Amino acid sequence: MPLQTHADAVAIVTAAGQGIGESIARRFAKAGARVAVVDVDGTKARRVAADIEGEGGAALALPADVTSSSQIDAMVRTVAGQWGRVDILVNGAGGFDRLTPITGITDEEWTRVINLNLTSAFLCARAVAAGMMERKRGRIVSIASGAGIAPNPYAPSYLPYGAAKAGLIGFTKLLARDLGPYGITVNTVSPGTTATPRVKAVRDEASLKNIAAQNPMRCLVEPEDAAAAVLFLASPEARYITGVNLNVNAGNLM
């Protein structure tokens, strides 16, 4: 039986239907938290929630588009109505679906990627902030990326994505300062290239092998690695860690 470091905590995890978000949701459930599994794909959310409940955990599947403030607000109200509060928010939504230079990026594409990777975190944080401030406790952790810190010569990234993740890291620092007086910590985790279904759909096998060969540990990050970092930052042991970006990238960025 795992240590119940998050016993009875209420956690919202967005993009929890697969990949890193799914691993985070499962880890929180195993640590004793009640988990709202949020994903734009309701079928995926229900699958993960059913698995958690099948293993004895508590989960709530909530389909929601996290770029929509009305859907986010409704989702948070549902969680609070079910479990009374929100203790932890994990902003896991993000990503991109192709690699192209600036000359091929459309206005719509730019807006969509910025909204998914950055605006979604703002909207979700805003929706839970009042309750956390009233209780004077809370944890907000967002999934950023090394693409938001420095260009990687071995794995060219996508301009709107890198810009959004850089913005997310900056947003986190500013929000950490504003919410600190209320006992709320705000941090980001920046995984290296991670072996998720989305990444495998965007990059071919040769590219992934090349990326793994270039970092000091000669491997890709697994979703579980990022999930463990999030679990720690949301724990009581990390109560004085705020405004930080934790790299989980096998040494790719130092």
Q: Which residues are catalytic?
A: 158
CA distance 192 to 1: 30
In 180-217, alpha helices (H) = 197-202, 205-214
What residues pair up with 14 in beta bridges, in sequence order?
38
Q: Are 161 and 190 in contact (CB under 8 A)?
A: no
CB 28 within 8 A of CB 35: yes
Contact (CB, 8 A) for 142 and 173: no
User: How many whole angstroms separate alpha carbon 209 and alpha carbon 193?
Assistant: 11
Rg of the chain on CA atoms, in Å: 17
